[in-house]
Amino acid sequence: MSIARVQWPENVRSGEIVKVRLLIQHPMDTGYLQDFTGKVVPRNIIRVLTCHLGSQEVFRIEPSSGIAANPFFEFYVRATATAEFKIEWLDDKGVKGQHLQIFNVA
Amino acid sequence: MKAVSWTRRKGLKGLLLAGISGICLNSQFAHAQRMNSGRLLSLEDMVQPIVRGAKLVKKELQIEAPILADNGSLVPIQIQVQSPMSEQDHVTHIYLLSQRNPVTQMAMFQLGPWNGSAGVSTRIRLAGTQEVVALARLSNGEFRYNQMEIIVTESSCVDAS
């Protein structure tokens, strides 16, 4: 079960460039490390993560095992109108995650 | 007769143990070898699979990261490209490349004019002290890069066992 948290400043005005902070709860197993019994933990990383603001894809990441566990991303987006902010991701186990939040623009 | 069979059993047990420990040792060595990817890639080797001979310049791209990272499994890094991010002139991709990691391309970010600013930050894993390269592709097909050496005291590729 993956959980996402997304954060941006309060009181966003139209035309403003907003910093979006995104945190996903995910182990991001590299496939190189062993667990305590000496068994290699199979690779399980997020393959692709997309962020949509309304119908526009505003951010897309293709991480690899080089991204730390519980990946954190920060990026900017230009605020235009109130829309739904949708985060979707897919990992090696085929687990799909989704998070929806309303992006309010004053 | 009884004593003979006992020693035989003991001998077999010993063989079995030796075999098991041999397998364990072997796998451990193999594992250590795989982790110790001592070969450091050159800048050309790192960027050419992506750049493919296009124009590459070292300018207007900043990397912000600690010079000394205590733990390789979590290194904060921030990339900022100077770009107006307009429809005509914007950054389309940002790549994070590692010199020593088993997987060279650590992440690929896709951006566009709707971002307003070509800045991203994340947390990366590093398998030891190395040069980290940030590569940005611009909408006109040109590439920009910058590199930074990060000293890692504890590699990310260390076993829990």
For B46, residues 6+ apart whose C-beta sits below 8 A from its C-beta are: B97, B98, B99, B104, B133
User: Which residue in A has a C-alpha nearest to residue B121's C-alpha?
Assistant: A74
More confident residue, B53 or B134: B134
User: Which residue in B has a C-alpha nearest to residue A77's C-alpha?
Assistant: B115
| Average pLDDT for A23-47 | 90
For residue B100, pLDDT beyond 50: yes
Query: pTM score, two decimals?
Result: 0.81
Least confident of B32-41, B47-56, B142-151: B32-41
Residue A31 at interface with chain B, using a CB cutoff of 8 Å: no
Kindly determine whether residue B107 and residue A62, on different chains, have CB atoms separated by under 8 Å: yes
User: Which residue in B has a C-alpha nearest to residue A37's C-alpha?
Assistant: B161
Q: What is the pLDDT of residue B6?
A: 59
Residue A9 at interface with chain B, using a CB cutoff of 8 Å: no
Token pair of B20, please? 């098991």
- Point out which residues pair with B152 in neighbouring strands: B69
Kindly determine whether residue A59 and residue B123, on different chains, have CB atoms separated by under 8 Å: no
Q: What is the pLDDT of residue B153?
A: 87
DSSP three-state, residue B78: strand
Q: Which domains does chain A have, with CATH numbers?
A: 3-103 (2.60.40.10)
| Among A42, A40, A61, A37, residue whose Cα is nearest residue A50 | A61
Choose among A35, A65, A73: nearest Cβ to B122. Answer: A73
For residue A31, pLDDT beyond 70: yes
